[in-house]
């Protein structure tokens, strides 16, 4: 199985897709957002920055990612939300070269801004096991209202899932992250998925993973 980078705007479904691929194919997923939210519990300044929708310093994110990758061994992995700037992409390229790991495939989820905004305001997350739910999309809803299917913790809304903060996150995405679409396309590793239906997205990505065993 190839390593996967999920490149997409906020609320495009990176975490949801990563979770599906982990369960179906045995990938390990690394979400820099989740890693940073854990760090932010001990660091008020970081917490404030994340709640504002700004990107976090490249070096801080990179160190967290590096520590995770070092522990992974040879298990194929998914990067959910990394790299997010060209500088992170360059640092990552050098790191995997030194670790003799392969870049794999970059999946770009192309989702319309209005749809993203609806997704972000109808999302619930589990603060304990990080599972993600939708109160709009029945197939992604929790079985019991506001209760995590996996660990039974009470579900909450993410602090940065407010409409005005979503706009900031989207701006950050356009300015800093979207140039990576061309960056990886020029390396011939980018696959663009423009479907929004969840089953179609899962189906396309599954066949991509299967075809590249």
Pick the piece of the chain touching Mg ion (CB under 5 A) from 13-21, 42-50, 88-96, 204-212. 13-21
Q: Give the residues lining the site for ligand AP5 (CB under 6 A).
A: 8, 10-16, 32-33, 36, 50, 53-56, 61, 81-82, 84, 88, 119, 123, 132-134, 137, 140, 160, 169, 196, 198, 201
Q: In which order are the strands placed within the sheet that holds 190-193?
A: 28-31, 77-80, 4-7, 105-109, 190-193
Residue pair 133/140 in contact by the 8 Å Cβ criterion: yes
Residue 61, contacted partner among Mg ion, ligand AP5, none, CB below 5-8 A by kind: ligand AP5
The CB-nearest residue to ligand AP5 is: 33
Is 53 a binding residue for Mg ion by CB under 5 A? The answer is: no
Q: What's the Cα-to-Cα distance from 18 to each of 5, 131, 175, 207, rounded to whole Å? A: 10, 11, 24, 15
Structure tokens at 132: 């993600």
Q: Which residues, in sequence order, are CB contacts of 60 under 8 Å at separation 6+?
A: 36, 46
Closer residue to ligand AP5 in complex, CB, 2/196: 196
CB of 165 to ligand AP5, least distance (A): 9
Given 15, 53, 76, 104, the residue binding Mg ion (CB under 5 A): 15
Is 83 a binding residue for Mg ion by CB under 5 A? The answer is: no
């Amino acid at each position: 199985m190839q390593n996967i980078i999920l490149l997409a705007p906020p609320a495009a479904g990176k975490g949801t897709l990563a979770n599906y691929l982990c369960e179906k194919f045995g990938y390990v997923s690394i979400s820099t957002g989740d890693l940073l939210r854990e760090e932010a519990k001990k660091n008020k300044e970081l917490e404030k920055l994340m709640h504002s929708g700004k990107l976090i310093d490249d070096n801080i994110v990179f160190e967290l990612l590096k520590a995770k990758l070092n522990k992974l061994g040879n298990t194929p992995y998914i990067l959910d939300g990394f790299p997010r700037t060209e500088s992170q992409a360059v640092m990552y390229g050098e790191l995997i070269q030194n670790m003799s790991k392969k870049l794999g495939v970059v999946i770009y989820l192309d989702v319309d801004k209005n749809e993203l905004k609806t997704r972000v305001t109808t999302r619930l997350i589990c603060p304990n096991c990080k599972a993600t739910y939708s109160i709009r999309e029945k197939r992604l809803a929790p079985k019991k209202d506001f209760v995590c299917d996996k660990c039974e913790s009470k579900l909450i809304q993410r602090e940065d899932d407010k409409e005005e903060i979503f706009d900031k996150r989207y701006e950050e995405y356009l300015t800093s992250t979207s140039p990576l679409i061309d960056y990886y396309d020029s390396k011939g590793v980018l696959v663009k998925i423009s479907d929004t239906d969840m089953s179609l997205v899962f189906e396309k990505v599954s066949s991509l993973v299967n075809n590249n065993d």
